């Protein structure tokens, strides 16, 4: 008596696959419901409204700046975490994982207190110099940067870890300095992972809500990024505009997903 693995009936297998399919269908139904809620005319007029155009521009610009700043900090940090041993490395590793479980709201209130002209000496000093960041567009950038840098370090760390250090050793023996080795060997070899990490960080910055809400506030036409536009219009009952903002965020996520999938695959194949 032989058991033919492929053909016998398995209730367990059916249940697992069924659950997975149900989850996917639920996702599609719910998002389609949102997409179909506004009429096309309403949607277009919302998208063209001054408020949403402002929110789109503000989101893109702040996310680009904060992602750039993240990369400046994350690239050397991630590299040192993969290649070098230094005092406090273990502690740094644990701290970098903290934001994964910590709500961004908490980061937001910490930033608020740190930069507050009233509550902290640093904020007071800045205020004395005529600089106030709380509830400004600068605060948006700082909040996005603060929340996303640990994520980016984690993501880049794994890209660097995929580059065998012997490539670097070989480059050095061929007369290449440490700097040049990093720029000409390590970075190009970690390129796919780096791009994926940067794109994900940018999309996370576009959608950052909690920390931005606490630190930059939800001020219409001032600190109104796309998630803020969604929130403000919801509270004032302008559901069409909220949905329009939501749809833009959804499209960005989808594009990023496809891009990361594409680069992610390349990483697997190219450097075997």
Partner 1 sequence: MSEMTDTAETDKTNKPVETKEITKAVETENADRDISGNCLTIENFSITLGDFKAENLNLKIGAGEYCIIIGPTGAGKTILLESIAGIHRLKSGKIYLHGRDITDIPPEHRGIGIVYQDYMLFPHMTIGDNIAFGLKHRGVSREERERQTAEIAGKLGIGHLLGRYPQTLSGGEKQRAAIARAIILKPKVLLLDEPLSALDNTTRENLRRELKKLHSEMNTTIIHITHHFEDIYSLADRVVVMREGSIIQCGSVEEIVRKPDTRFIADFTGMENIYAGICTPLSNGTCEIDINGLKLYAVSERRGDVNVGIRPEELIISKEKLASSARNSVCGEVIKITDNGIFSKIAVAEEKSGVIFTAALTKQGIESMNVSTGDKVYLTFKATAVHVF
C-beta of 168: minimal distance to partner 1 in Å?
A: 9
Within positions 152 to 171, which residues make up the interface with partner 1, using CB under 8 A?
164, 166-167, 169-171
Taking phi first (over 0 means left), then psi (-120 to 50 degrees means alpha), and beta for anything else, what does residue 135 get?
A: left
CA torsion 66-69-71-74 (nearest 10°) is -110
177 near partner 1 (CB under 8 A):
yes
Q: How far is the CB of 186 from partner 1 (least distance, A)?
A: 10
Q: Please, which residue, 4 or 173, has the CB nearer to partner 1?
A: 173
Number of residues that bind partner 1 (CB under 8 A): 21
Kindly state whether residue 174 participates in binding partner 1, applying the rule CB under 8 A.
Answer: yes
Radius of gyration (Cα) for the chain, nearest Å? 23
Alpha-carbon distances of 89 from 35, 123, 236, rounded to whole Å: 47, 30, 48
DSSP letters for 231-259: HHHHHTT-HHHHHHHHHHHHHHHHHHHHH
Closest CA to 69 of 158, 146, 139: 146
Binding part of the chain for partner 1, among 64-72, 96-104, 181-189, 196-204 by CB under 8 A, reads 181-189
3-state helix, strand and coil shares in percent for the chain, rounded to the nearest 5: 80, 0, 20
Q: In the chain, how many H helices and how many E strands? A: 14, 0
- C-beta contacts of 40-46 below 8 A and 24+ residues apart: 42/240, 43/240, 43/243, 43/244, 43/247, 46/240, 46/241, 46/243, 46/244
242: how many CB neighbours lie within 10 A of its CB? 22
Cβ proximity to partner 1, 180 vs 236, nearer residue: 180
Tokens 């840098």 — which residue? 149
Binding mask of the shown chain, residues 69 to 108, with x at each position contacting partner 1 by CB under 8 A: ----------------------------------------
129 vs 272 by CB, closer to partner 1: 272
- Looking at residue 177, what DSSP letter applies? -
Among 52, 70, 96, 185, binds partner 1 (CB under 8 A): 185
Report the nearest approach of partner 1 to the CB of residue 272 (Å): 7
* Chosen residue from 122, 180, 236, 268 binding partner 1 by CB under 8 A: 180
Residue 263 or 271: which CB sits closer to partner 1? 271
Tell me the closest approach of the beta carbon of residue 159 to partner 1, in angstroms.
14
**CB of 48: closest distance to partner 1 in angstroms?**
44
Site string for partner 1, 200-219 (x = CB under 8 A): --------------------
Determine if 268 is a binding residue for partner 1 (CB under 8 A).
Answer: no
What is the closest distance, in whole angstroms, from the C-beta atom of residue 93 to partner 1 in the complex?
16
Closest CA to 181 of 164, 195, 198: 164
Binding site for partner 1 (CB under 8 A): 164, 166-167, 169-178, 180, 185, 188-189, 191, 270-272
């Amino acid at each position: 008596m032989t058991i033919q693995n492929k053909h016998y009936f398995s209730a367990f297998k059916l249940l697992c696959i069924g659950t997975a399919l149900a989850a996917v269908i639920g996702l599609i139904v719910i998002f389609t419901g949102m997409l179909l809620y506004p009429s096309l005319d309403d949607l277009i007029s919302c998208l063209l409204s001054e408020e949403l155009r402002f929110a789109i521009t503000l989101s893109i610009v702040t996310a680009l700046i904060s992602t750039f700043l993240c990369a400046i900090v994350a690239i050397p940090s991630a590299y040192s975490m993969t290649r070098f041993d230094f005092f406090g490395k273990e502690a740094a590793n644990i701290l970098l994982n903290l934001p994964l479980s910590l709500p961004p709201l908490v980061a937001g209130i910490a930033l608020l207190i740190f930069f507050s002209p009233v509550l902290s000496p640093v904020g007071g000093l800045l205020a004395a110099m005529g600089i106030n960041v709380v509830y400004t567009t600068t605060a948006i950038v700082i909040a996005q940067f603060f929340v996303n840098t640990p994520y980016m370090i984690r993501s880049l760390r794994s890209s660097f870890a995929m580059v065998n250090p012997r490539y670097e050793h070989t480059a050095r023996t061929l007369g290449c300095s440490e700097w040049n080795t990093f720029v000409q060997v390590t970075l190009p070899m970690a390129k796919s992972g780096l791009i994926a990490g940067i794109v994900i960080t940018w999309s996370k910055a576009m959608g950052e809500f909690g920390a931005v809400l606490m630190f930059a506030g939800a001020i219409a036409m001032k600190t109104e990024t796309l998630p803020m536009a969604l929130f403000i219009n919801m509270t004032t009952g302008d559901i069409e505009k909220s949905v329009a903002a939501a749809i833009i965020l959804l499209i960005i996520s989808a594009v990023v997903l496809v891009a990361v999938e594409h680069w992610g695959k390349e990483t697997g194949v190219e450097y075997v």
